Amino acid sequence: MRPESVKQIISAITTLGGIADDQAKCMLVFAHPDDEVIAAGARLRAFRNAHFIYVTDGAPRDERDSRSKGFRTLDAYRQARFHELNRAFRLAGIQSSQQQCLGYSDQESAYKLPELTETIANLIRAHRVQVVLTHPYEGGHPDHDAAAFAVHAAARLLEEPPLIVEAPFYHQGPHGIETGKFLRSSETEEVVYTLSDAERAHKRALLDCFTTQRETLRYFSTQMERYRSSPQYVFTEPPHPGSVFYDRFSWGITSDQFCRMASESEKKLTFVRPVRCSQ
């Protein structure tokens, strides 16, 4: 696939108005409910024929999040997260039947990388997926990095791997959290959409559906959305020098632990190819 064709595919799958039946079959693989709006809220309607896969239930098992938000039980918080997602889906004109949660607890998916990888590979194969939109490897959240690992590793398990497209989320910057742009540049040209007033309003309305995540979502701008064909990553090394963003928090795992588990997982998986070819 030539680089210009990659850009054309990204433009095609993110064009407002929806994906025609003869265009690429898409799957969106994200760590948590609300990640789809961060990545593609203004053009979520373009994915009305896509499959939405959520790695986790968005509810950390230690209950600190659920209790801090006023929920008496973990299950009530878990249900609230998906009630918010369904509300956003309705607003975007997407059927709730298009979503599937893989059921991992928030902050724990990195402990099951081989299992997660094989599940995603099977879903890609079953749905004949040609393009996957997912997280970049940037050290923002361990579940984001786990999703990125699993998608890339799944592609290496398949004879016919999909094109992997990514949108930026957040990472450690010089002065704290940095959102809305990729951690570092790659050889792949970005496709950038500057949102109109109407698109910004629509994305804001979708973000507002996730009332339990209001504090976190305030860090994300509605000025633009950007995408690129994913570069090759070395998951056995941190995404950047120094501590990554989630090393600052008790989110179930450190970046050093993640890299060790990525290394162990790669040894357990039987890859068709040593690296993913994106060109």
pLDDT at 274 over 70: no
Mean pLDDT confidence for 209-234: 96
Residue 64 gets the label, from left (phi > 0), alpha (psi -120 to 50) or beta, of alpha
Exposed, middle or buried by CB within 10 Å (0-12, 13-18, 19+), for 22? Answer: exposed
State the chain's mean pLDDT as an integer. Answer: 91
Q: How many domains does the chain have?
A: 1
At 11, the pLDDT band (50, 70, 90 cuts) reads confident
| Structural domain contains residue 134 | yes
CB burial readout 29-45, b (16+ within 10 A) else e? bbbbbbbbbbbbbbbbb
d(CA 68, CA 268): 38
Tell me the three state secondary structure of residue 253.
coil
pLDDT for 2 equals 47
**Domain contains 273:** no
Percentage of the chain beyond pLDDT 90 is: 83
Answer whether residue 278 is part of any domain.
no
In angstroms, rounded to a whole number, what is the distance separating the alpha carbons of residues 171 and 239? 10
Question: How far is the CA of 106 from the CAs of 54, 69, 74, in angstroms?
Answer: 11, 15, 11
Q: What is the pLDDT of residues 167-189, one digit of tens each?
A: 999 999 999 999 999 998 887 88
Q: Give the CATH number, domain containing residue 69.
A: 3.40.50.10320
The residue type at 167 = A
pLDDT digits (tens, 9 = 90+) for 129-142: 999 999 999 999 99
| Strands, sheet with 163-166, edge to edge from the N-terminal-most edge strand | 99-106, 51-60, 26-30, 131-134, 163-166, 224-229, 191-194
| Residue 128: domain span | 3-268
Answer left, alpha or beta for residue 34, where phi above 0 means left and psi between -120 and 50 means alpha. left
For residue 247, is it within any domain?
Answer: yes
pLDDT exceeds 70 at position 163: yes
Percent over 70 (pLDDT), the chain: 92
Nearest to 83 by CA among 169, 209, 176: 209
